[in-house]
A and B are shown apart, each in its own frame.
Chain A
Amino acid sequence: KQEVTQIPAALSVPEGENLVLNCSFTDSAIYNLQWFRQDPGKGLTSLLLIQSSQREQTSGRLNASLDKSSGRSTLYIAASQPGDSATYLCASPGGGTSYGKLTFGQGTILTVHP
Chain B
Amino acid sequence: GAVVSQHPSRVICKSGTSVKIECRSLDFQATTMFWYRQFPKQSLMLMATSNEGSKATYEQGVEKDKFLINHASLTLSTLTVTSAHPEDSSFYICSAPKDSAYGYTFGSGTRLTVV
Within 8 A of A (CB), among B77-108: 91, 93, 95, 97, 99-108
Q: Interface of chain B, helix or strand or loop or mixed? A: strand
Closest CB in chain B relative to A94 CB, distance in Å: 10
| CB-defined contacts of A30 to chain B, threshold 8 Å | none
Partner of A31, one of B6, B32, B100, B107: B100
In chain B between 20 and 35, which residues have their CB closer than 8 angstroms to a CB of chain A?
32, 34
Size category of the binding interface on chain A = 20 to 34
Chain B contact residues (Cβ within 8 angstroms of A): what range? 20 to 34
A98 contacts B100, CB within 8 Å? yes
Q: Give the residues in chain A near B99, CB-CB below 8 Å.
A: 98
Instruction: Contact check, B106 vs A36: say whether CB atoms are below 8 A apart.
Output: yes
Complex CA distance for A51 and B95, rounded to whole angstroms: 19
B111 beta carbon closer than 8 Å to chain A: yes
